């Protein structure tokens, strides 16, 4: 009941607020959450310490505080992203960069890592292309929230959301038919599905799905990095990655992390640092979160 009420409040109340008011509310909530959510604050600060050892503690605290604020602001923004009129979303969500890469029917994978604006980026594509669009998400444990997520992410265009448990066949099938795949492959899914490759110099368990799907689907790969701005969001497409994929899955996966590093350096406070990205360690290594 509480989840259903929360979804109603997002759709019927928060979605109607002026964007500066909503962002101000998110700023206040984020500042409070930074203080109260001590375990996640420690995770964010530890991640930043591992990735930016040369930065001062004060700078890492600035980025960590920003990541909590942006988390709350983008969470509240889902109200209008998933309920406001299409004209409002089109005005606030911009798609820039190598737009020509979306033309035609070449199988295409969009590498869209976990910047907090990822759901806005996920709408930017079907708003501006009619191509079939597939993405993979994990099921939310609350069915009301899960239904809200699925409806919001599929509200525009020809979008099909797939659960990770459905396997790779529908993903590859859509790619080979000339579709788009929106792939978020930068989380720690455990050692069994991963190879250890550097991420900001730290050996990091990283899934190899980007390289594997590109090869199986005979697809080109673009990066798309979505930035929250005062007026909404800007999702930027990169040109297709040259010489990708190769026959070396591990090298491809290491390259994916390098591409992500370059994007993070442009907006370090907007990346999903509250996730235990370094939870899985090589055999014999202790946890970095103790």
Residues 52-84 pLDDT 10s? 999 999 999 999 999 999 999 999 999 999 999
55: DSSP letter: S
Q: What percent of the chain has pLDDT over 70?
A: 100
Strands 232-237 and 194-199: unpaired
* Structure tokens belonging to residue 174: 């859509």
- Confirm if 275 and 114 have CB atoms less than 8 A apart: yes
Q: Across residues 102-119, what is the average pLDDT?
A: 96
Task: Give percent of the chain above pLDDT 90.
Answer: 81
Q: How far apart are CA 40 and CA 265, in angstroms?
A: 21
Distance CA 162, CA 134 (A): 7
135-164 pLDDT, tens digit per residue, is 888 777 888 888 898 899 999 988 888 877
Reading phi first (left if > 0) and then psi (alpha if -120 to 50, else beta), residue 167 is in left
- How distant, in Å, are the alpha carbons of 55, 75, 146, 188, 209 from that of 167? 41, 28, 19, 18, 11
Q: Residue 103 half-sphere exposure, CB side, CA atoms within 13 Å?
A: 4
Give the separation between CA 251 and CA 246, rounded to whole angstroms.
8
Q: Between 19-36 and 38-51, two packed helices, what is the crossing angle to 10 degrees?
A: 90
Contact 191, 207 (CB under 8 A): no
**Contact criterion met (CB below 8 Å) for 213 and 181:** yes
CB-count exposure of residue 168 (10 Å: 0-12, 13-18, 19+): middle
The confidence score (pLDDT) of residue 1 equals: 64
Residue 126: predicted pLDDT: 92
3-state secondary structure of 207: strand
The 10s digit of each residue's pLDDT in 230-249 is 999 999 999 999 999 999 99
* pTM metric for this prediction: 0.94
User: Tokens 């190598």 map to which residue?
Assistant: 98
SS3 of residue 258 by DSSP:
helix
Shortest CA distance to 244 belongs to which of 266, 224, 223?
A: 223
Is the pLDDT assigned to residue 3 strictly greater than 90?
no
**57-66 long-range contacts, Cβ below 8 Å, gap at least 24?**
62/269, 63/268, 63/269, 63/273, 64/34, 64/273, 65/30, 65/31, 65/34, 66/269, 66/270
């Amino acid at each position: 009941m509480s989840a259903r009420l929360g979804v109603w409040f997002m759709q019927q109340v928060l979605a109607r607020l002026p964007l500066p008011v909503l962002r101000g509310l998110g700023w206040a909530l984020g500042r409070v959450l930074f203080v109260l959510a001590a375990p996640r604050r420690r995770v964010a600060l530890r991640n930043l310490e591992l990735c930016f050892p040369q930065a001062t503690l004060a700078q890492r605290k600035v980025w960590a505080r920003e990541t909590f604020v942006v988390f709350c602001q983008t969470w509240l923004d889902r109200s209008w992203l998933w309920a406001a009129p299409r004209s409002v979303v089109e005005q606030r969500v911009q798609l820039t960069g190598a737009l020509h890469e979306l033309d035609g029917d070449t199988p295409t994978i969009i590498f869209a890592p976990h910047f907090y604006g990822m759901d806005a980026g996920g709408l930017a594509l079907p708003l501006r292309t009619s191509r079939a669009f597939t993405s993979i998400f994990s099921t939310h444990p609350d069915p009301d929230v899960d239904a809200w997520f699925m409806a919001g992410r599929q509200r525009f265009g020809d979008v099909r959301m797939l659960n990770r448990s459905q396997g790779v066949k529908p993903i590859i099938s859509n790619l080979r038919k000339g579709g788009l795949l929106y792939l978020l492959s930068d989380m720690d899914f455990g050692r069994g599905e991963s190879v250890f490759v550097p991420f900001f110099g730290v050996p990091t368990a990283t899934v190899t799905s980007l390289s594997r799907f590109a090869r199986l689907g005979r697809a080109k790969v673009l990066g798309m990095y979505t930035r929250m701005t005062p007026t909404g969001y800007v999702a930027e497409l990169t040109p297709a990655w040259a010489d990708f994929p190769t026959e070396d899955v591990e090298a491809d996966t290491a390259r994916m992390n390098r591409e992500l590093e370059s994007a993070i350096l442009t907006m370090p406070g907007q990346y999903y640092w509250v996730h235990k990205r370094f939870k899985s360690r090589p055999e014999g290594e202790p946890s970095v979160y103790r």
